[in-house]
Amino acid sequence: MTSKSKTFKTTVGQHWKLSGILVVLAVGLLTAAVASSLAASPRARAATTTTVMVPASSPATGTGIMLTAGEGVTIEASGKAKYGSLATELANPKGFSFGQTPSGTGECGVEQYNNGPFAYPGLNCYGMVFKIGASGVAFPTGTKITFTSPVSSELFLGMNDATAGYSDNSGSWTAKIKTP
């Protein structure tokens, strides 16, 4: 009976040693897997605010800000920019909607039909626009817009004017871009 008892104790002791080794191996593998997945996945970027000047002389200017798909973005725009050679031809970032009459010109809708194609047809005349990627779709910013980036690429900002109308534009708007 003593030998059976002794064999049982040895078997249990070996079992606990083996279990301990398996637990250590499992914890090690799990730690390695978690570390590997963290290294492979994009890390959340700290919230930042970047101020850029948006020239009225271009339909789209790169901001140098690289957006990531799924990242939240807020653009707050202010100031007045000249969309023509007359002193009164000034626009805030909202620009002019279809039925509005910009200073010294016809209605925005008439301008888009009669003054040659606008860079971004259907959007407000002389308003600020944003695009994600140089060839991305343009959207109006107005004075403030918050959105989630659908793709990863550089943020572009510019003015919506007739494609032949940028040469007499001057000045710029100020845009504060907050990410994420």
pTM as predicted: 0.74
Average pLDDT over residues 151-164: 96
Tell how strand 128-132 and strand 153-159 pair up. Answer: antiparallel
- Which among 43, 54, 46 is positioned nearest to 178, based on CA atoms? 46
Averaged pLDDT for residues 85-91: 88
Question: Hey, what amino acid is at 24?
Answer: V
Q: Of all residues in the chain, what percent carry a pLDDT higher than 70? A: 73
CB contact set of 48 (below 8 Å; sequence gap of 6+): 178, 179
Tens of pLDDT, residue by residue over 6-31, are: 444 545 455 545 455 544 444 444 44
- Has residue 137 got a pLDDT over 60? yes
**Mean predicted confidence (pLDDT) in 113-118:** 84
- Alpha carbon distance 95, 90 (integer Å): 9
